[in-house]
Amino acid sequence: MLFDWRKRRLIRFSSKGVWLIVLCAIGAMADQPIAFPHNSHVKLGLDCLDCHIGADTRAAAGLPSVRKCMLCHAKLAKEKPEVQKVIAYANKGIEIPWVRVYDFPSEAHVKFRHAPHYQAGISCSTCHGDLTKETVAEHTVTHTMGSCLTCHRQKHASEDCAACHF
Ligand code: HEC
Ligand code: HEC
Ligand code: HEC
Ligand code: HEC
Ligand code: HEC
């Protein structure tokens, strides 16, 4: 039995030789420094790209700086305890240390790029699930070389090793 911290799953090898992948008690939700609710911010009318500003043109989607949060939270919802944590980071001038949710290990040598997928019209939810229903991002979609290649074959995108690896 082993515990894969990166995928936060308990992986068990049964006697019948069947791999059982069981979501463990802490689930696929990262323990974030602040309980940031995606759902309520999307309800306010914010677009994914308002905060993840690289997703349409760059490799990395990017995480928003605490300065962006303060555009609203210098005035709005200041009484909420979780918002007070945001304000405390901003006052100290340090970024919120978010725990990464979707992240390939460096030893896999994968170079993922958001821009070509955005330009091909593939929605965020295809690869990240429905964030409009989540608070902090959860790891709901597992990306493997097989899952990348299955879609690349269907859409006639590159299957060249060098497209995805460095
Ligand atoms: C466009 C304005 C806006 C921006 C930008 C914004 N927020 Fe908010 N946020 C709000 C409003 C308004 C609420 C109160 C929503 C409600 O009560 O449903 C809120 C609520 C919250 C809450 C409290 C949730 C709760 O009920 O306890 C947290 C935490 C939070 N925001 C964090 C952040 C962080 C972190 C950022 C930056 C990544 C950010 N917000 C960016 C407007 C914004
Ligand atoms: C084809 C699948 C795919 C699509 C479509 C996609 N992503 Fe991603 N996203 C990924 C993968 C894979 C990673 C991890 C990349 C890594 O570790 O290098 C990732 C990482 C991220 C990250 C982490 C930080 C970063 O800088 O990359 C954010 C935020 C993100 N995606 C947001 C989005 C948003 C917003 C959209 C829609 C505009 C989107 N993604 C569309 C697959 C996708
Ligand atoms: C108000 C800003 C804001 C908006 C709007 C927003 N996000 Fe995020 N997003 C964040 C913050 C802050 C984090 C880091 C905390 C977390 O992991 O939930 C994050 C994390 C993520 C991650 C995990 C990144 C990683 O690998 O660590 C994904 C994927 C993501 N967002 C996708 C989306 C999508 C899709 C939308 C639109 C439906 C969206 N976000 C809208 C602020 C935002
Ligand atoms: C749902 C379908 C889908 C999934 C899943 C997907 N891709 Fe793609 N990918 C595409 C499409 C479509 C393109 C654009 C092809 C074009 O522009 O000709 C693309 C383009 C790319 C490119 C640019 C290739 C080039 O020639 O410049 C890279 C790199 C890439 N994908 C990596 C990945 C990786 C790594 C994964 C898995 C984490 C992944 N993709 C998952 C559909 C997908
Ligand atoms: C469409 C994108 C894509 C293409 C094309 C691709 N790979 Fe991968 N590959 C990945 C991703 C994503 C991972 C990481 C999977 C993980 O971390 O679970 C990976 C992982 C690997 C690994 C590490 C072992 C593993 O399975 O985790 C090796 C070795 C590898 N790829 C070799 C290749 C070779 C050789 C080619 C060309 C024949 C190739 N890859 C083409 C996306 C791709």
The string of pLDDT tens digits covering residues 112-155 is: 999 999 999 999 999 999 999 999 999 999 999 999 999 999 99
Model confidence at 62: pLDDT above 90: yes
First CA to last CA distance, the chain: 32
Model confidence at 15: pLDDT above 80: no
Residue 1 lies in a domain: yes
Structure tokens at 58: 């760059």
pLDDT of residue 29: 75
* 84-88 contacts at long range (C-beta below 8 A, 24 or more positions apart): 85/33, 85/34, 86/34
Residue 50 lies in a domain: no
Q: Total domain count for the chain?
A: 1
> Which pTM does this prediction carry?
0.92
Ligand 2 pocket residue status of 59, Cβ below 6 Å: no
Domain coverage including residue 4? 1-30
Residue 150 burial (CB count, 10 A): 11
Residue 24 lies in a domain: yes
Residue 49 lies in a domain: no
Tell me the average pLDDT of the chain.
87
Ligand 2 center–CA 83 separation, angstroms = 25
Residue 13 lies in a domain: yes
Ligand 2 pocket residue status of 38, Cβ below 6 Å: no
Instruction: Say which residue, 20 or 49, is predicted with more confidence.
Output: 49
Nearest atom of ligand 1 to the alpha carbon of 51: 38
pLDDT of residue 28: 63
Residue 120 lies in a domain: no
pLDDT of residue 75: 97
Model confidence at 26: pLDDT above 80: no
Ligand 5 pocket residue status of 144, Cβ below 6 Å: yes
Residue 25 lies in a domain: yes
